[in-house]
């Protein structure tokens, strides 16, 4: 699974640490999600999408 988190963070001038604080996660968690090494829970995915003012569908790109 790929994400647009890095792109959307840059748009909003947010660091991984900033986003992590906003969603109650660790910076490393955001890093692993961005790299595709970790699939977040639905609750975390929703929190990230909300923090980045987008939808889960727009945030995550699911491989077929």
Question: Is residue 63 in some structural domain?
Answer: no
Determine the average pLDDT of the residues in 48-64.
92
40 pLDDT tier (thresholds 50, 70, 90) = very high
Cα 19 from Cα 39, distance rounded (Å): 16
Distance CA 64, CA 48 (A): 23
pTM of the model: 0.92
Q: Which residues contact 34 (CB under 8 A, 6 or more apart)?
A: 3, 5, 6, 16
Domain count, the chain: 1
- Residues 6+ positions from 54 with CB-CB distance below 8 Å: 4, 8
Angle, CA of 7, 9 and 23, to the nearest 5° = 135
Q: Which domain holds residue 51?
A: 2-55
């Amino acid at each position: 699974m790929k994400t647009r988190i890095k792109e959307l963070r840059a748009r909003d001038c947010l660091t991984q640490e900033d986003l992590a604080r906003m969603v109650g996660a660790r910076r490393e968690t955001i890093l692993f999600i961005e790299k595709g090494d970790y699939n977040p829970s639905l609750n975390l995915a929703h929190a990230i999408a909300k923090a980045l003012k987008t939808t889960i569908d727009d945030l995550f790109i699911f491989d077929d």
